[in-house]
């Protein structure tokens, strides 16, 4: 379903996938129902399990329909295996609800590769988009930023990177509320001659295109967390490594701080004094607070939650879907692509694309 809906938005929620289980998924839907009074749900999964959970949440029960599925995509399933079972799984049925126009967005905490394969097969890419990209919001020193691609495409040409920039900027305008987000390509240096031919060619196009963004050129990996760039654009191979490195560094820092505060009586006293600041830091770095990655570029909205997200985290992912629906991010992307296609055609040589 594309375009702004004429009726209240509907979320197709894959209840059974992910590590947290059906109880957390249903609780997350109730949190989202409280936050967004117009939102309603299609809950896909094992009907007796979901019905039992719904008894605890009367508010959600009044705004949810349960659709039974016998099968669940396991976290260890190969995408090709999951794709063959798409019609019978809670994940595949949730995506199909978007295709059929019964829901405005699908949300799942399940297997990322399977979710990508099913979404691409069912919804296809938007006109003017060669490949979809996985985008997510990351914490920075200043606030938050968007990064894409985070693993959907291991190799990308200049055209792909330009399209990712367009989609990422539209996403940032919706989720971060920025009128003209600052966009940069991830590179090994900020100088114009640094990087591969594809990165340099993409930069040339983005400099010349008239788009609702501020293109800053290149950004290095150590500047991602500074908050000076709102949208970081890269191929999926580099983006996934950068994301996992940032997550590992976050755990390293919090672990070292914990060890230091437990190491002596003075450390424990220091923790007592700095407890408020440390709790604020923990909340800022909490993955549940930034949960909800999106497959941009499809003919429909699909949001991926962390597999281990708690109810609050999954509710935040549902919130991302809600914002993308109400702000009609698909229309934003289509409009912006119209402004960049001419620049692509006139700037990129056939062998550079």
pTM of the entire predicted model: 0.83
Look at residue 5 and tell me whether its pLDDT is greater than 50.
no
Q: How far apart are CA 75 and CA 303, in angstroms?
A: 16
- For 153-202, how does the pLDDT look when each residue is reduced to its tens digit (9 = 90+)? 888 999 999 999 999 998 898 888 888 999 999 999 888 888 888 999 99
Question: Domains in the chain, ordered, with CATH?
Answer: 1-123 (3.40.718.10), 130-292+327-353 (3.40.718.10)
Look at residue 56 and tell me whether its pLDDT is greater than 70.
yes
Average per-residue pLDDT for the chain = 86
pLDDT band with cut points at 50, 70 and 90 for residue 255: confident
Average pLDDT over residues 244-269: 78
Look at residue 235 and tell me whether its pLDDT is greater than 90.
yes
When mean pLDDT is compared across 67-81, 101-115, 337-351, the lowest value belongs to: 337-351
């Amino acid at each position: 379903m594309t375009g702004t809906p004429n009726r209240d938005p509907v979320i197709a929620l894959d209840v059974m996938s992910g590590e947290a289980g059906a109880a957390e998924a249903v609780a997350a839907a109730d949190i989202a129902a409280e936050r967004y009074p117009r939102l309603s749900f299609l809950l896909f999964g094992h009907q007796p399990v979901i019905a039992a959970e719904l008894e605890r949440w009367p508010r959600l029960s009044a705004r949810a329909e349960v659709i039974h599925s016998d099968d669940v995509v396991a976290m260890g399933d190969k995408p090709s295996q999951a794709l063959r079972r798409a019609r019978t799984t809670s994940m595949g049925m949730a995506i199909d609800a978007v295709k059929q126009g019964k829901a405005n967005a699908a949300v799942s905490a399940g297997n990322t590769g399977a979710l990508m394969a099913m979404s691409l097969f069912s919804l296809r890419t938007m006109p003017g988009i060669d490949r979809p990209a996985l985008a997510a919001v990351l914490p920075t020193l200043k606030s938050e930023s968007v990064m894409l691609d985070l693993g959907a495409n291991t190799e990308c040409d200049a055209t792909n990177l330009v399209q990712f920039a367009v989609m990422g900027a539209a996403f940032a305008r919706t989720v971060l509320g920025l009128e003209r987000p600052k966009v940069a390509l991830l590179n090994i240096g900020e100088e114009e001659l640094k990087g591969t031919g594809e990165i340099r060619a993409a930069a040339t196009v983005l400099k010349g295109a008239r788009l609702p963004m501020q293109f800053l050129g290149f950004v290095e990996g150590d500047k991602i967390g500074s908050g000076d760039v709102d949208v970081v654009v890269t191929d999926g191979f580099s983006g996934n490594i950068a994301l996992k490195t940032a997550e590992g560094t976050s755990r390293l820092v919090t672990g070292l701080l914990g060890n230091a505060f437990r190491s002596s009586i003075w450390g424990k006293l220091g923790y007592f004094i700095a407890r408020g600041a440390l709790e604020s830091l923990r909340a800022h770095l909490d993955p549940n607070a930034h949960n909800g990655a999106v497959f941009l570029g499809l003919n429909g909205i699909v949001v991926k939650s962390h597999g281990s997200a708690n109810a609050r985290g999954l509710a935040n992912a549902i919130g991302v879907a809600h914002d993308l629906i109400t702000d009609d991010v698909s229309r934003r992307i289509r409009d912006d692509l119209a402004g960049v296609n001419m620049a692509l055609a006139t700037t990129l040589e056939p062998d550079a694309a």
